[in-house]
Amino acid sequence: MQKYFAFIKKIADFFKNRGDDDRSLMEKWRDKYRLVIRNDETFEEVTSLKLSPLSVYVFFSSLVVGTAMLVVVLIVYTPLKRYIPGYGDFQRDGEIAALTNKVGEMERELNASRRYTDNFRKLLAGDVSEITKEAVEKKGDVNIATDTGPKNVGRIPEEDQLRNAVDKGAITSEDDAPSLSSIGAGLAPREVSLAQLFFMPPVSGEVTSTFDPGRDHLGVDVAAPKNTAVKAAADGVVISAGYTVETGYSIAIQHPNNVVTMYKHNSVLLKKTGSAVKTGEAIAIIGNSGESTSGPHLHFELWHKGRAVNPSDYINFN
């Protein structure tokens, strides 16, 4: 019983002494304590550390802050952020948009290559009327002669004047209407041979490879300086403009009288499918694109009624 009262007295003295402690909180936090580690069996002192509440607080606070900074660095500068739901979505959105644009460009190039192949196949088969019809429908305001048969067209002013004159009795015979034959001649289509047509050389230079159907070379290769403009040989409508692995950037133009010209291995195309072009108008820039080429040059082909002819027979490239 005496031991119990003695223990109670010690506790009371302890709290009494604490109440008499008027030191500040910072001074109390700086009180020194010793952490002693002993062997549990031999009670031998293994090590000891001199600590204070402030040093312990600083240590654990630094540990927490350092861990937080390490986690932030790992998330921001390493691929680990991809595994965190909702983080970094804006970056992935940009990558997805770039990939989508690239896929769209590849699809357009593939479609252009398919159109070029289909048009080339139709040209080899001699079916150029359908190609010209598609080009005219795309352009909308292009007038070009085709062999698709008669069509219903509106009256011209001269025809209305002629009908009025006949109704009034001013014209009683063909001699009184000298313009009648000229009007009819202007409306009737007339077949013209290649020898009667004028073709402008697309480029001027040395012919390095001639027309040779025996080795499947259906045109001529003309060497010219770099960045030389390739010009249209005659008036017409672009029926194909795109890129193929074999011929590179190529363009084909439909002309009147069932004439088609082709320009291959260019570096840049200046016209699109459906564009109306004039004689001598720049349509491309000479280049070295495609696999079947050995240097900057223009491969030029001249087709008439679905058959390849020798361009050198009708055009002087020098």
User: What is the rounded CA–CA span in Å between residue 204 and residue 137?
Assistant: 33
Q: What is the mean pLDDT of each run of 10 residues along the chain (318 residues)?
A: 63 57 74 84 84 85 93 82 63 76 88 82 63 54 43 58 62 49 48 82 91 91 90 94 90 93 93 92 91 85 92 89
Q: How much is the pLDDT for 284? A: 94
User: What is the rounded CA–CA span in Å between residue 246 and residue 203?
Assistant: 21
User: What is the rounded CA–CA span in Å between residue 208 and residue 52?
Assistant: 94
pLDDT tens readout for residues 65-94 = 999 999 888 877 887 776 776 665 555 667
User: What is the rounded CA–CA span in Å between residue 161 and residue 290?
Assistant: 57
- Nearest in space to 308 (alpha carbons), one of 250, 262, 267, 263: 262
Q: How much is the pLDDT for 277? A: 94
Cβ proximity of 311 and 228 under 8 Å: no
Q: How much is the pLDDT for 292? A: 78
User: What is the rounded CA–CA span in Å between residue 192 and residue 253?
Assistant: 18
Q: How much is the pLDDT for 308? A: 92
For residue 227, the tally of other CB atoms under 10 A from its CB is 11
- What are the start-end ranges of the H helices in the chain? 2-19, 25-29, 53-77, 89-125, 129-139, 157-168, 179-187
In sequence order, what are the beta bridge partners of 46? none
Query: What are the C-alpha distances in Å from 9 to residues 1, 5, 201?
Result: 13, 6, 122
Cβ proximity of 255 and 198 under 8 Å: no
For residue 2, the one-letter residue type is: Q
Q: How much is the pLDDT for 269? A: 93
